[in-house]
Chains A and B, each alone.
Chain A
Amino acid sequence: MEIAIPQPVERENYLNKEYGVWSWLLTTDHKRIALLYLVSITFFFFIGGFFALLIRLELLTPAGDLVQADTYNKLFTMHGMVMVFFFLIPSIPAVLGNFLVPMMIGAKDLAFPRINLLSWYLYIIGGVFMLHCMLTGGVDTGWTFYAPFSTNFSNTKIVEAGIGIFIAGFSSILTGLNFVVTIHRMRAPGMTWSRLPLFIWAHYATSIIQLLGTPVIAVTIVLVACERALHLGIFDPKLGGDPVLFQHLFWFYSHPAVYIMILPSMGVVTEIIACFSRKRIFGYSFVAFSSIAIAVFGFLVWAHHMFVAGISVYSALVFSFLSYAVALPSAIKVFNWTATLYKGSIRYDAPMLYAFGFLGLFTIGGLTGLFLAALGINVHVTDTYFVVAHFHYIMVGGAVMGYLGGMHFWWPKISGKLYPEGWARLAALIVFIGFNLTFFPQFVLGYLGMPRRYYDYSHMPEFQVLNVLSTAGATVLGVGYLLPMVYFLWSMRYGKPASDNPWNAAGLEWKTTSPPPTFNFDEEPVVTWEAYNYEELDAPPHTQEVPVAR
């Protein structure tokens, strides 16, 4: 048994074990790879955010006066592609998941450390294609690539962007594969499935989607490239193809992809809520299996993006029905989180503020999904700003809130430093206000009928007020996103050193040092407790006399 030395000056950890560029670029340590991902996705997040800002500025006035029509079309296309494929999909899994999955289950690393590094290189290669594509002209099809516009009409760099996404897709598949194998095979002794943190369940469900869904978008991209180059007539009606077939293939991946973004975020929020209310999660197994249910049902609802695309009334009915089926597990999660707060001992530290923000925004995003799944309403609001608002509430309000919450929660573990709590709370508040100001007016705009992807709305100047509000919100939101980056960087140099478990949180990742050693644990942990054993953690050392709740 080693003796713990208090505040060792230079205890060896994964950050200071080796130095130099190659020690990072050739690392197989899941934690270092997580940081490589963190830097790269942050880079792409700010590129995507810059495009978003230009979009909002253009929409400040009805006339198309800031950029040209083609430029605007490229802006929203690149915004979508960058944010979806190069930020949201890798965000939580590749950064927090990579860092935490092995630690949470008591493993030394992922099952395939070199494949993990390969996945980052694939991501970077895909990203380089994307960047090159952007810098040399970009793409104007929208991130949805709808045929036959993408296959026969657009003269932009579709194949190059497609190659970028195709390659980045393999990065996503490999990460999913790695997680599935790791979670099955590398759990520490005693870490049974029912003792897994719900973060792990969420990542397990996510990985299944990544494994099964991503190949379909790869196939779709190949078909688009073939159609462009060889005119095979898959999607082109003049050659006997069917453009609606493209939409089926595209959404077969791209709808489940939404769950790749939101499920890990749900996992993060579950951990945070348990920790800051000092409780085990209410209805553990319901929260766990709702993740699996979302992954399964998520594959069966793709055509709800196509209710006006020319599918039959009866298939629309089936897909509408199934969309309500997939809404239920999300509702169950929200209710269980809420119930977890009951009789808790709740603290309002920054991660918890983000989790509260997530709850509010995800609830609005989820409930407006009920509108879109209702066939009669869908016809009116699909392809309008109502949809734009809805999916931003899920993918930005939900996924990014969760991501930021997770970054704050585990930052002491990742960096070994504490960030300034006051600034972090302020940032959470700014993001919440900025987000709602940006996207809530868009629900109203959408029901009024403003279509998506319009750079010029001088035909309908009555939409301006709401657009001005939205643009104002976007600037606030931008500040809210910049702040954490600034104080995280600041804390790396000036932050106070973090203890091993600053939140007194449950979970194996808190039982090792901050930052952890390269192989995570000095000794292989043996798990003898259930997940979220806050009762034991909070038990006073000597006496059991303290009154229990109310």
Chain B
Amino acid sequence: MLNNFPLWPDQASTMAHRVDALYIFLLVVTGMMALLVCTCVIFFAARFRHRPGVRAEQIEGSIPLEITWSAIPLLVFMVIFAWGAVVYFKERTPPADATEVYVVAKQWMWKVEHAEGQREINELHVPVGRDVKLIMTSQDVIHSFYIPAFRIKQDVLPGRYTVEWFRATKPGVYHLFCAEYCGTQHSGMVGDIVVMEPAQYEAWINGGTTGPLSTTGEKMFAELGCATCHRTDTQGRGPNLLGVFGKPVQLEDGRTVTADENYLRECILDPGAKRVKGFQPIMPTFQGLVSEEQVNALVAYIKKISTADQSDGAKTSASKAISQATDRAQPNQAQPNQAQPNGSQVQ
């Protein structure tokens, strides 16, 4: 029991050093404040203890003193606030080119799916030195994906995606905890984060998979009949999905939203909620028909055809992909930069 008795957690991500630096700063500053108060209290208590015949000296108060001991802590607080905010911004802003990993939480298990198709349960393999972004959702209650050695934590909610990211810096095996109480086996919802050297990781990620996640999504896109409406030309009854990811989308009710993962997910599960301008509310909900993993695959596929579209221009492998997924081949080409047709083009 006593041989393994750490007082400081592992530092295994780029975030760990940032958080620890602020933590140490706070330990020093608050330590000094505590020491100051304690010293004063103990000194006054001893120095001014009751002695017979000596009376207390009444002091009304002092405005300059009040201002001093309000202003100095306030300044210190603002420094802590600003520093904490800077660290938080870093924590909450995933780099654009991060490797994406999908996480589905359920009572009481973590299911992980890599873009390359590797699946894991209660384990996450990642390489050293690469930014990894977790796109997470829950099948049931709220969970929280917590890696103490990385100093990161994010609640995982049902009904939407939340995101966290990290860059591991040290190979090893680290704790993964569920940090939001989620029922009976909450304390069993733990796992391992395995940080590997890049070469080892490459071998691991390419060993025995069922193919990339987006390929699964592509198959589903065809099987669920998505492609009958979401065609690659402007004739579809649903919006053309080429290039839609990450772009602003105008909604029927006048709002504009960005087509991020959460928006795509919501459109699949609750199509009426944020309908694209110019389209009829004819899409059925897929709530209950597709699992969280399948939603992830669909989203991964839509993202793939978007990025491919952006980089390659009009006639791309992605639009081919949609064409192939469509039962009838489409004669028209997809038009770049016109992800959604306007109202007049809809029949």
Contacts and interface: CB of A to CB of B under 8 A. Distances in A.
Interface of A: 64, 69-70, 73, 140-142, 144, 146, 148-149, 152-154, 237-238, 240, 242-244, 277-280, 282-286, 307-310, 313, 316-317, 320-321, 324, 327-328, 331-332, 334-336, 338-339, 341-348, 356, 359-360, 363-364, 367-368, 370-371, 373-380, 382-384, 444, 447-449, 451-457, 459-462, 464-465, 468, 534-535, 538, 546-550
A391 B22 CA distance: 21
Contact of A320 (B81, B141, B185): B81
Contact of A343 (B50, B51, B59, B81): B59
27 contacts: A142-B181, A148-B141, A148-B142, A149-B183, A237-B160, A243-B142, A308-B144, A327-B77, A328-B74, A332-B70, A343-B48, A345-B55, A356-B41, A359-B37, A363-B33, A368-B30, A370-B30, A373-B81, A374-B80, A376-B90, A376-B91, A377-B26, A380-B148, A460-B175, A462-B4, A468-B1, A548-B55
A148 B88 CA distance: 27
A534 B56 contact: yes
Contacts of B1: 461, 464-465, 468
B162 A313 contact: no
Interface in B44-85: 44-45, 48-51, 53-62, 65-66, 69-70, 73-74, 77-78, 80-81, 83-85
B142 A149 contact: yes
Contacts of B159: 237-238, 242-243
A549 B61 contact: no
Interface string B120-151: 00000000000000000000111010101101
Contacts of B186: 73, 453-454
B4 A331 contact: no
Contacts of B19: 376-377, 379-380
Contacts of B224: none
Given A310-B162, A344-B44, A380-B148, 11 more contacts: A64-B187, A69-B187, A149-B182, A238-B158, A282-B59, A286-B66, A327-B73, A328-B74, A339-B65, A448-B8, A451-B178
A244 B157 contact: yes
Contacts of B151: 379-380
A546 B58 contact: no
B167 interface: no
Contacts of B83: 374, 376
A82 B83 CA distance: 38
Contacts of A462: 4-6
Nearest to A321: B81
Interface of B: 1-2, 4-9, 18-19, 22-23, 26, 30, 33-34, 37-38, 40-41, 44-45, 48-51, 53-62, 65-66, 69-70, 73-74, 77-78, 80-81, 83-92, 107, 140-142, 144, 146, 148-149, 151-155, 157-160, 162, 175, 177-188, 190, 270, 273, 287
Contacts of B33: 363, 367
B59 to A, nearest CB: 6
Contact of B81 (A307, A324, A468): A324
B112 to A, nearest CB: 17
B4 to A, nearest CB: 5
A344 B185 CA distance: 56
Contacts of A336: 61, 66
Contacts of A535: 55-56, 58
Contacts of A335: 37, 69
A379 B58 contact: no
Given A367-B33, A383-B153, A454 B187 contact: yes
A195 to B, nearest CB: 14
B264 to A, nearest CB: 16
B54 A237 contact: no
A255 B92 CA distance: 25
Contact of B37 (A286, A338, A444): A338
Nearest to B162: A310
B194 to A, nearest CB: 15
Contacts of B182: 149
A550 to B, nearest CB: 8
A28 B9 CA distance: 57
Contacts of B87: 374-377
B287 A238 contact: yes
A320 B85 contact: yes
A374 B187 contact: no
B54 to A, nearest CB: 6
Contact of B38 (A308, A347, A360): A360
A334 B37 contact: yes
A334 B184 CA distance: 42
A341 B187 contact: no
Given A367-B30, A367-B33, A380-B153, A153 B55 contact: no
A149 B44 contact: no
Nearest to A306: B155
Contacts of A142: 181
A449 B146 contact: yes
A449 B2 CA distance: 18
B86 to A, nearest CB: 7
Contact of A447 (B9, B58, B90, B142): B9
A486 B26 CA distance: 42
Contacts of A375: 84-85, 87-88
B148 A379 contact: no
In order of increasing CB-CB distance, the 3 nearest A-B pairs are: A237-B159, A449-B148, A376-B87
Contact of A384 (B26, B91, B179): B179
A22 B2 CA distance: 59
B285 to A, nearest CB: 10
Contacts of B181: 73, 141-142, 144, 146, 149, 452-453
A547 B58 CA distance: 13
A302 B14 CA distance: 30
A368 B31 CA distance: 10
A346 B152 contact: no
Residue from A339, A374, A460 with most neighbouring chain B CB atoms (10 Å): A374
A277 B142 contact: no
A320 B84 contact: yes
A342 B155 contact: no
Contacts of A309: 142, 155, 157
Given A317-B85, A454-B187, A331 B44 contact: no
A448 B287 contact: no
A346 B141 CA distance: 55
Contacts of A379: 19, 88, 91, 151-154
A534 B50 CA distance: 14
A191 to B, nearest CB: 20
Given A374-B84, A383-B180, A279 B50 contact: no
